[in-house]
Homo-oligomer: A and B are copies of this chain.
Amino acid sequence: MKAYALLGGPTELWPEDIEEKLAQADLVIGVDRGALFLEELGIIPDVAVGDFDSLHENDLSQIESNVQDIRYSNPVKDWTDSELMLQIAFEDYHVDELVIFGATGGRLDHFLINLLMLLNPEMRLYAKKVTLIDQQNLICFFNAGTHVVQKRKNYSYIGFAALKAIEDFNIIGARYELKHYSGNYPRVFSSNEFLPNSNEFRISLQNGMIAAIYSKDINRFHDL
């Protein structure tokens, strides 16, 4: 089962094909303001999660009358809304794959919560099933082990971020190779590329967590 979740980040950063993607979902989850954004797109989420404290009362009433499964989070709590969403998706709905939109931009404490949530030992096993996508980036996660990194259409670059201390990190068969890197703090290895005519390469790590960040340049209008 493939699930899509929409979080409350800026709508300007949504990928262009978000509506098409959401239409293919087996399960749609709206997190906080993301639940409202879904309704505005004409999609009733299967699950809504959040404290909803940023919503107007009538917007919340609409969600409460439409959505079958509503989970109210506690604003003073141990788990963030994003962590609660992971638990619901993987423990209650047993999804095989979760794609998250609306996780980037805006308030950067919110973005970092979404980027780092899989480091929580209770969430770590979900890492390989989670992807964050925005207009310009696609982020997926790797625990310790050896992994094949697949080329993805339309992304020119791939960077790797060690999200915590890491042991024996290797990049094998990419444009820039890396051998036996260990470090006790997060570090980014950016702007790698697939070799010409190659659709994959390998990475391995003994310990730690890697975020693979696929990215592309986009043409922006800038008004100076």
Q: How many copies does the complex hold?
A: 2
A112–B116 CA distance with the chains assembled, in angstroms:
12
Report if A109-B186 is in contact (Cβ < 8 Å); known contacts: A12-B222, A164-B164, A165-B164: no
The 19 sampled A-B contact pairs (Cβ below 8 Å) are A10-B222, A12-B222, A37-B224, A104-B108, A105-B105, A107-B136, A107-B217, A108-B136, A108-B139, A108-B215, A109-B159, A109-B188, A109-B215, A112-B159, A116-B188, A119-B186, A164-B165, A165-B184, A186-B186
Question: When the two chains form their complex, are residues A137 and B108 in contact, meaning their CB atoms are under 8 A apart?
Answer: yes
List the B side residues contacting A20 at CB < 8 Å: none
* Chain B residue with Cβ nearest A110: B190
Interface residues of A (CB under 8 A from B): 10-12, 37, 40-41, 76, 80, 104-110, 112-113, 116, 119-120, 134, 136-137, 139, 157, 159, 161, 163-165, 176, 184-188, 190-191, 213, 215-217, 220, 222-224
